């Protein structure tokens, strides 16, 4: 056996801040109440302030403003200092309420550790957010829509990825330990589930913004999403997870936290594939002068990503042990519907007569 394989025993923890002692007991229900207040009150305050400024003769203007908001134009927002004051006020009131009412409290937090996976996961969302804003600006859309869309994407990704893992990979375990479904810090996120979650979130998003078409939106999300996928797979490498089968190829990696066998670095294969697809999608986007035929980037994304995932699975340790005797693994079976979906988009939804430039 070649002794020159890359040896990886990296620490998954990026920064360890130790334990943090709170200056006073912090009420957990108070924090929850403050978050709810911070999310709900801005809309009420803006509407209330606007109503108070209006007179009986301004009803026509008020109706016009509401129609403008419904069509996706920029709504009135709280100023930065108002949002900060609302947040601090919500936190203070939440704690004051539960000084009187007994409630669970937290006096110590930690040990606080920032892991590579968490940092790279956050980097995926941050990079996606800024790229998404740029793509919305290119299309002349209000960037506030991108801000709102980010919330949909974050929630859908986490919930979809978690439920995908629970349902398709370890259902027998979680049906007996249902309370652990929420323990996402213990690992267990499935990219196929994240994809389904994101698609459902986009459907919900366009229901509130009917001026935005579904495939127009998915096209512009493929670019940041595929780059985010590369970040997540790098995080898997730092965690020494989703590794491959033993092999003697020159680029094999010994994951010391697993065993001393040289293995396929399958998470790096997928990270590289994501970067290649990212370059292809950006090239297509620029070729069509920022307005590709609707569905084109989505179809290419689905076909290239999940076809490559299908073949990479042959080098990967099967994550669903009950499928080891099947013809195809779980990751391969879950990839097939997305490949078919991509082919259907390119065949049925893409206007191939469209050349370049903005479609009116």
Summarised one tens digit per residue, pLDDT across range 200-229 is: 999 999 998 888 999 999 999 999 999 999
Beta 105-115 vs 253-255: how paired, if at all? Answer: unpaired
Given a contact cutoff of 8 angstroms between Cβ atoms, the answer to whether 231 and 123 are in contact is yes
**pLDDT in the model for residue 212:** 92
**pLDDT for 298-321, tens place per residue?**
999 999 999 999 999 999 998 887
**pLDDT in the model for residue 68:** 47
Q: How far apart are CA 251 and CA 262, in angstroms?
A: 9
- Quote the DSSP letter at residue 146: H
By CB atoms closer than 10 A (0-12, 13-18, 19+), residue 132 is buried
Cis amide leading into 111 (omega within 30)? yes
What is the number of other CB atoms lying within 10 angstroms of the CB of residue 327?
Answer: 7
All residue ranges of the chain with pLDDT < 70 are 1-3, 43-80, 110, 185-186, 354-360
**pLDDT in the model for residue 43:** 60
Q: How far apart are CA 159 and CA 191, in angstroms?
A: 11
Q: How far apart are CA 121 and CA 152, in angstroms?
A: 16
Q: Is the pTM value of this prediction over 0.85?
A: no
Given a contact cutoff of 8 angstroms between Cβ atoms, the answer to whether 168 and 192 are in contact is yes
Longest dimension (CA), the chain: 86
What is the number of other CB atoms lying within 10 angstroms of the CB of residue 188?
Answer: 20
**pLDDT in the model for residue 111:** 72
Terminal Cα-to-Cα distance of the chain (whole angstroms):
62
**pLDDT in the model for residue 102:** 79
The pair of structure tokens assigned to 108 is 């110590």
**pLDDT in the model for residue 58:** 54
**pLDDT in the model for residue 39:** 72
Helices 266-287 + 296-312 axis angle, to 10:
160
**Nearest partner of 152 among 219, 91, 217, 216, judged by Cα:** 217
**pLDDT in the model for residue 78:** 58
**Nearest partner of 216 among 264, 285, 277, judged by Cα:** 285
**pLDDT in the model for residue 244:** 95
- Quote the DSSP letter at residue 244: B
- Quote the DSSP letter at residue 176: T
Q: Is 234 left (phi over 0), alpha (psi -120 to 50) or beta?
A: alpha
Q: How far apart are CA 149 and CA 169, in angstroms?
A: 29
């Amino acid at each position: 056996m070649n002794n020159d394989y890359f040896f990886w025993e990296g620490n998954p923890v990026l920064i360890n801040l130790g334990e943090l002692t709170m200056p006073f007991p912090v009420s957990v229900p108070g924090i929850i109440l403050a978050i709810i207040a911070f999310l709900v009150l801005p809309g009420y305050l803006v509407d209330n302030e606007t109503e108070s400024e209006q007179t009986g003769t301004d009803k026509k203007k008020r109706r016009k403003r509401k129609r403008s908001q419904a069509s996706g134009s920029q709504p009135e927002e709280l100023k930065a200092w108002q949002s900060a004051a609302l947040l601090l006020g919500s936190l203070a009131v939440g704690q004051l309420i539960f000084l009187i009412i007994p409630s669970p409290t937290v006096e110590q937090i930690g040990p606080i550790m920032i892991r590579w996976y968490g940092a790279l996961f956050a980097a995926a969302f941050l990079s996606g957010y800024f790229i998404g804003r740029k793509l919305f600006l290119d299309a002349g859309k209000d960037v506030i829509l991108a801000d709102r869309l980010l919330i949909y994407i974050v929630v859908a990704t986490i919930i979809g990825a978690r439920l995908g893992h629970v349902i398709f990979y370890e259902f027998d375990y979680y049906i007996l330990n249902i309370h652990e479904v929420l323990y996402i810090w213990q690992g267990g996120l499935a990219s196929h589930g994240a994809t389904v979650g994101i698609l459902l979130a986009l459907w919900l998003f366009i229901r509130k913004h009917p001026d935005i078409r579904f495939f127009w939106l998915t096209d512009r999300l493929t670019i940041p999403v595929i780059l985010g996928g590369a970040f997540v797979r790098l995080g898997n490498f730092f965690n020494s997870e989703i590794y491959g089968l033993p092999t003697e190829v020159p680029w094999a990696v010994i994951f010391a936290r697993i065993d001393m066998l040289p293995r396929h670095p399958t998470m790096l294969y997928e990270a590289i594939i994501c970067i290649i697809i990212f370059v292809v999608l950006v090239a297509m986007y620029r070729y069509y002068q920022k307005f590709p035929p609707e569905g084109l980037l989505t179809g290419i994304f689905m076909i290239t990503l999940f076809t490559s995932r299908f073949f990479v699975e042959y080098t990967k340790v099967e994550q669903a042990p009950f499928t080891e005797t099947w013809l195809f693994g779980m990751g391969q079976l879950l990839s097939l519907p997305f490949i078919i979906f991509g082919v259907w988009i390119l065949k049925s939804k893409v206007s191939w007569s469209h050349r370049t430039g903005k479609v009116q």
